[in-house]
Structure 1
Amino acid sequence: MRNEELKRNVWIEKLNDFSELVMFKHSVFSLPFIFIAMLVAAYLDTGSGWFGWKLLLLGTVAAVSARNFAMGVNRYLDRDIDILNPRTRNRPSVDGRVSDTQMVLFILVNALVFIGVAYLINALAFALSIPILLVLGAYTFFKRFSAMAHLILGVSLGLAPIAGVVAVSGEITAWSVWLAAGVMFWVAGFDLLYSLQDMEFDKANNLHSIPSKFGAKKTMLIARAFHLMTVIFWTVFVVSAQLGIWAESAVVFAALMLTYEHYLVNKDFTKIDRAFFTVNGYLGFVFLFFIILEVA
């Protein structure tokens, strides 16, 4: 019994290490918007927002495996950078809790799971699976030579609603592109605010980011512009999909939450974590809640 308990504890500890490696709790940023797209697609196709238990399961596994792949690639390739940064040097990829071999296997397994799930969904999803993985893995490379890395991260999460509508409808619709564009600027905007923490580190280590290139004040202005674009694109999404008052309310509440986020960061840079994790985490679920009301 003692040996079995020790083995179980080792497995639990290893799972916790991998969860920390990919910051699993931050899946809240991408999951709501794949479901928003799936709900709206089903609603417009059939008049019912429900797309079935099979797609719910496959959509969830696809979103989680895609994000695990992206985070795994990022952590694996950023080991040389993370070990130098006081904020990141205690990550499992740096301190040895997760070995290089384990990370590579983790990346490969999640890539294969994502491709396999895409195959089970439909032909278009399968055809797009490898290109999507290539985009997801690109972020880590971009920040080494371009300040546009923030937008690449935005594109990565913006693929979630595209994947959602492909899963349900087997096509890419105009309204899903507007929804995705809003997600792209939303993510890029809050990544700019988060990157303010590493502004001096990026300068010292020749890493490309908008904060290190333009400074905190201009970064704040650019982040506000990105989030204004977010609200505009989500408004166009609602109009394009011909949704009603509840979807419109989703955009209004998202705008209020983004305003509050900028208020927090502008007032005190030590509130960046609260703005990044709490406000943005709730935003996706608030948006999803209103869309559920819309399609119900």
Structure 2
Amino acid sequence: MTFWTKFKDILDLIVFKHSVFALPFLFTAMIVASKMVNDSTWFGFKALILGIICAVSARNFAMASNRLMDEDIDKDNPRCKERPNIDGRIGKKSVWIFILINALIFIFCSYFINPLAFYLSFPVLFILAFYSAFKRFSSLAHLVLGFCLGLAPVAGSVIVMGEIHLFSILLCLGVTFWTAGFDLLYSLQDMEYDKKVGLHSIPAKFGSNATLFFSAFCHCLAVIFWLLFAWVAPLGKLAFLGIVICALILFFEHKIVRKNFSHIDRAFFTLNGYLSIIFFIFMWVDLLCN
């Protein structure tokens, strides 16, 4: 097996393209924090490089841990049969090594950011690993996953300011409910399988109609917390316009899914990927104009 083939298998294992969901919110928090501290959106190369490495290594750790812990339930799920750890392309030992390496990278880089980042690196890794176990006994696993992504803007505040600012908490809550909302839609694909194996997903427990309602409710909360974030930051009219556009994207996401569940993948990745990038761009341009 060539290095390039192995590398592609690893990217497939962690679904690297989904990194687009959290990174824009990390950068949003970093530019807002920098504007508050330095009156500039540029936070420096050290914060940029260490922030990216921490974000990527934390996500790698979380995804690989999820794949390893869920191997027993994923092996019989038709949707998961082509994952590298299921079809044999990547062995369990290799996944363990990958998890350990990324955990050490995350802790090591956190140490060079500031003391708070280092101290928080350990509970953060625990939370990221805990998600996979949570869905085995609680329907709130969707919110736990959301909180894992919601930690990104909190990290942005810690990296630049050395503290957890209120704006990052509000943005964290917005990202948490946004992620939980689209994870609920995505989990509709596994509703019958989750029932069969006894997983505590909301679709398996309450059905598709209730799931659509809970998802819409989560997205309404996400928009509310994003508006509160923009107000506290403080941001201007362009930021609020960006949030309105993101709300419209979420509206169309629900419209697509309600019309046909076969479009869940398109709604999940394409629309939410655009949303996170659009959110960052509007916040950044707003700060540049202020």
Q: Which interval holds the TM-score relative to the shorter structure?
A: over 0.9
Determine which of 144, 157, 163 is the counterpart of 1:152.
144
Using the TM superposition, give the Cα deviation of residue 124 of structure 1 relative to its aligned residue in structure 2, in angstroms.
Answer: 0.3
Match of 1:282 in 2: 274
C-alpha contact (below 8 Å) 2:22/2:149 kept by paired residues: yes
C-alpha contact (below 8 Å) 2:117/2:159 kept by paired residues: yes
Are 1:120 and 2:112 an aligned pair? yes
Are 1:177 and 2:187 an aligned pair? no
Are 1:242 and 2:234 an aligned pair? yes
CA distance in 1, matches of 2:251, 2:75: 34
CA distance in 2, matches of 1:165, 1:188: 22
The one-letter code of the counterpart of 1:213 is K
C-alpha contact (below 8 Å) 2:235/2:283 kept by paired residues: no
1:201-212 equivalence runs, <5 A: 201-212=193-204
Are 1:253 and 2:245 an aligned pair? yes
The one-letter code of the counterpart of 2:168 is S
Determine which of 21, 31, 48 is the counterpart of 1:56.
48
Are 1:27 and 2:19 an aligned pair? yes
CA distance in 1, matches of 2:114, 2:78: 44
The one-letter code of the counterpart of 1:247 is A
Match of 1:67 in 2: 59
Gaps of 5+ in 2: none
Using the TM superposition, give the Cα deviation of residue 69 of structure 1 relative to its aligned residue in structure 2, in angstroms.
Answer: 0.2
Match of 1:188 in 2: 180
Deviations 1:250-273 (A, max 9, x none): 211110110010011011101100
Are 1:17 and 2:12 an aligned pair? no
Deviations 1:130-182 (A, max 9, x none): 10000001110011111110000001000000001100000001111000000
Deviations 1:172-196 (A, max 9, x none): 0111100000000000000000000
Using the TM superposition, give the Cα deviation of residue 295 of structure 1 relative to its aligned residue in structure 2, in angstroms.
Answer: 1.7
Are 1:40 and 2:32 an aligned pair? yes
The one-letter code of the counterpart of 1:208 is H
CA distance in 1, matches of 2:238, 2:41: 14
Gaps of 5+ in 1: 1-8
> What RMSD in Å do the two structures reach over aligned CA positions?
0.7
Could you state the TM-score of these two structures normalised by the residue count of structure 2?
A: 0.98
The one-letter code of the counterpart of 2:203 is P
Determine which of 214, 217, 229 is the counterpart of 2:221.
229
Aligned residues with identical type, % of pairs: 53
CA distance in 2, matches of 1:242, 1:274: 33
Deviations 1:172-226 (A, max 9, x none): 0111100000000000000000000000000011011000000000100000000
CA distance in 1, matches of 2:31, 2:244: 19
The one-letter code of the counterpart of 1:287 is F
1:74-93 equivalence runs, <5 A: 74-93=66-85
C-alpha contact (below 8 Å) 2:54/2:110 kept by paired residues: yes
C-alpha contact (below 8 Å) 2:185/2:257 kept by paired residues: yes
Match of 1:100 in 2: 92
The one-letter code of the counterpart of 2:60 is N
The one-letter code of the counterpart of 1:94 is I
Deviations 1:79-124 (A, max 9, x none): 1111110000111011111111100000000000000110010000
The number of aligned residues is 288
List 4+ stretches of structure 1 deviating above 2 A. Answer: none
Match of 1:6 in 2: none
